[in-house]
Amino acid sequence: TVERAQYDYYKYHPMSEITSWMEQMVKDHPDVVTVVKYGKTYESRDISLLKIGLNTGKEKKAIWVDCGIHAREWIAPAFCQYFVREILQTYKTDAKMEEMMKNVDFYVTPVLNIDGYIYTWENETTRLWRKNRSPGPEDCACYGTDLNRNFDANWGTVGVSFDCCSNTYPGTKPASEPEAKAVTEFVGSRKDIFLCFLTIHSYGQLILVPYGHPNYTAPNYDELMMVGKGAAEAVWKVHGMNYTVGASPDVLYANSGSSRDWARMQGIPLTFTFELRDNGTYGFKLPEDQIQPTCEEAYSGALHIITYAHDK
């Protein structure tokens, strides 16, 4: 047999390696994994997700997980890759995971903001880029829209700046950006199948529930808080890290146009933002030796939510 170098889940990977890894997942698990292209970035790169589930011939519900909507949050794509490996490893021996793999499909986007992610790999001066890479309006010399302010959820109202050089520039209109439009169209056209929508960021060690706008409260806010607190407890049990649970206006600051709020407004009942490690010591430049513990604890938290969504 041919010896293949093992993929290192505890290092950060450039986009080219993540793309090859996605193809390898399909080759290694052809009966369970497919790649779905569902849009193109501003710079014309394919936006892809891995659809993972056992083929039962029945109609299936679904779980959404996206990572890398913000370019510099490198731990997020690392988490999505770890997440995929874990579910593919555990379903063969773990009865609960096998049951979930039969009833739901996991839709995992390892890197949503591909152009931005590639830009952060260019050199040290671009390492902390957050937004996508579309040019601003004509009268502006800056690039990039904050994709997590660009969704059609109280768009442009709070926690944004219309200075197109700002890191929270929301774009010219809801879903003006191809990356936000791709998620809007893919999820929006199948919104009834999604039980749960998780969007992964860093940093801050938070589990955020909708809504980001201070004037609105989710109809199932109590349920969201209960499940979120359960997830934070599951996180804490792994390495003793504290994650704070709440709506963003209560935890930090208000915001609008996030994908989490948009997904909840579409009727997806359980939508959460994870802010992974750390609390600011290293921030976006989380050392590689923290990838493993961060992914382990976040996986436990995510699984708590997914299991609740599945069993409900």
Q: One of 124, 275, 296, 297 is an active-site residue; which one?
A: 275
Q: How far is the CB of 46 from ligand ING (least distance, A)?
A: 24
- Neighbouring residues of 149: CB distance < 8 A, sequence distance ≥ 6: 155, 156, 159, 160, 168, 169, 170, 171, 255, 256, 257, 258
Sort strands 104-109 and 61-67 into parallel, antiparallel or unpaired.
parallel
DSSP lists the bridge partners of residue 244 as 206
Backbone dihedral region for residue 49 (phi beyond 0: left; psi -120 to 50: alpha; all else: beta): beta
Residues 11, 253, 280, 311: which binds ligand ING (CB under 6 A)? 253
Residues 66, 105, 261, 275: which binds ligand ING (CB under 6 A)? 275
Binding mask 119-148 for ligand ING (x = CB under 6 A): -----------------------------x
Contact assessment for residue 51 and residue 101, using Cβ atoms and an 8 Å cutoff: no
Residues 84, 86, 87, 91, CA torsion sign: positive
Q: Does 248 bind ligand ING (CB under 6 A)?
A: yes
Q: How far is the CB of 69 from ligand ING (least distance, A)?
A: 8
Q: Does 158 bind ligand ING (CB under 6 A)?
A: no
Q: Does 256 bind ligand ING (CB under 6 A)?
A: no
> Rounded to whole angstroms, how far apart are CA atoms 312 and 297?
23
Binding to ligand ING (CB under 6 A) within 34-93 occurs at 70
In the list ligand ING, Zn ion, none, the entry touching 307 (Cβ below 5 to 8 angstroms by class) is none
Whether 86 is a known active-site residue: answer no
DSSP labels, 230-252: HHHHHHHHHH----EEEEHHHHS
Q: Does 304 bind Zn ion (CB under 5 A)?
A: no
> Rounded to whole angstroms, how far apart are CA atoms 144 and 164?
8
Nearer to ligand ING, 25 or 276 (CB): 276
> Rounded to whole angstroms, how far apart are CA atoms 164 and 142?
6
Q: How far is the CB of 117 from Zn ion (least distance, A)?
A: 12
Name the site residues for Zn ion (rule: CB under 5 A): 70, 201
Catalytic residues: 275
Name the site residues for ligand ING (rule: CB under 6 A): 70, 148, 201, 208, 212, 248, 252-253, 255, 258, 273, 275
